[in-house]
Amino acid sequence: MAYTPIAKLDNFTSEEDDAQDTTNSWYQSLINKPQDFNAFKVEFLRYFSNNNSINCLVNTFTIMKQGETETVTTYLERFYQNLRQIQAIDANYFTAPQILNQFICGLCSSILQHICPLHPSTLQDAVTHARDFESAESEANHAQAVNLVMNRSSELDSKLEKFSESINKRLEEYLADNHAIYQPP
């Protein structure tokens, strides 16, 4: 497949000619010429992109962690956004097992400890397990909150009952001392 350099198509001059010469030199130096546009794009970006740019993206990706209060879905969105940026430069930078490992390692500790023993074999399995655990944890927290409110409600009922008994006892003592209670006519 033959490629026409962009600089040539747009009739660039001077500095653009230098860019054209650099691009042509690079392309001619390739031992294995790309067979389609996507392969060409990968090779082009790999050679001409700022290497610090991909290194920065990879660094961000490999240290990415789910926040303790962040949902799995929000973490997954950030994860995919960063992964897509890396793959736009080099689609094969990470293998599927590396991507899976990075997702799992980035999960918050409360989810991570329950997902690792399941040994998910695909990213989709890991996401499903993480979401299931998050949902179960949320339901358990809800049930715990309801139980706490019910226990406090029972304590309050007990205190109100004791208070009512105390008032009735004092009222009986007051009446037993022959104190009249005002009765409207």
d(CA 165, CA 25): 98
Query: Who's near 14: CB < 8 A, 6+ residues apart?
Result: none
179 versus 89: which is more confidently predicted? 89
Instruction: Determine what percent of the chain falls in helix, strand and coil, rounding each to the nearest 5.
Output: 75, 0, 25
Residue pair 129/120 in contact (Cβ under 8 Å)? The answer is yes
Residue 50 corresponds to which amino acid?
Answer: N
At 22 the pLDDT is: 73
pLDDT tens digits, one per residue of 93-105: 899 999 999 999 9
pLDDT at 132 over 80: yes
pLDDT at 25 over 90: no
d(CA 117, CA 110): 13
pLDDT tens digits, one per residue of 150-180: 666 666 667 778 877 887 787 777 777 766 6
d(CA 126, CA 74): 15
Place of tokens 């399995």: 125
